[in-house]
């Protein structure tokens, strides 16, 4: 399990990678929110290996409830899944890979 400092570094790195890849700004705070909520979701559903598509289905309503724009042109399900894949990459590089059903 990664400590808070490493998770923050991951969020910053993911935001930087996605901003570069997509040619727009992605806030690290969005990544922080996703990381925190997905941890809660995995615990709530007792499913540490939840696949990204299912996770996204749980994250989108929570994001909307927090006032994060989740409509087309904002934070889309595809973007959330992309963030989760980048998070996998970051966790693996940090020496703490996770298993996720495909």
Domain membership of residue 100 (yes or no) is: no
* pLDDT number for residue 65: 94
Q: Residue 16 to residues 45, 56, 87: CA-CA distances in angstroms?
A: 30, 21, 12
Encode pLDDT of 10-69 as tens digits.
999 999 999 999 888 889 999 999 999 999 999 999 999 999 999 999 999 999 999 999
Range of the domain at 74: 4-93
Q: Is the pLDDT score of 71 beyond 80?
A: no
Q: Which residues have C-beta within 8 Å of that of residue 92, sequence separation ≥ 6?
A: none
Q: Is residue 53 part of a domain?
A: yes
Query: What is the DSSP annotation of 56-96?
Result: HHHHHHHHHHTT---STTSS-HHHHHHHHHHHHHHHHHTT-
67 within some domain = yes
Is 14 a member of any domain?
yes
90 near 13, Cβ under 8 Å?
A: yes
The predicted structure's pLDDT at residue 51: 97
Q: What is the pLDDT of residue 74?
A: 84
Residue 73 has pLDDT above 80, yes or no: no
**Structural domain tally of the chain?**
1
With 0.75 as the threshold, say if the pTM is over it.
yes
Q: Is residue 101 part of a domain?
A: no
């Amino acid at each position: 399990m990664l400590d808070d400092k490493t998770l923050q570094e991951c969020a910053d790195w993911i935001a930087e990678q996605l901003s570069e890849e997509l040619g727009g700004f992605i806030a690290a705070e969005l990544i922080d929110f996703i990381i925190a909520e997905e941890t809660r979701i995995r615990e709530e559903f007792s499913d540490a290996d939840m696949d990204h598509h299912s996770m996204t289905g749980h994250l989108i309503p929570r994001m909307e409830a927090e006032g994060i724009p989740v409509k087309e042109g904002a934070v889309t399900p595809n973007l959330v899944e992309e963030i989760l894949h980048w998070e996998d990459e970051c966790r693996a590089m940090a020496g703490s890979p996770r298993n996720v059903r495909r």
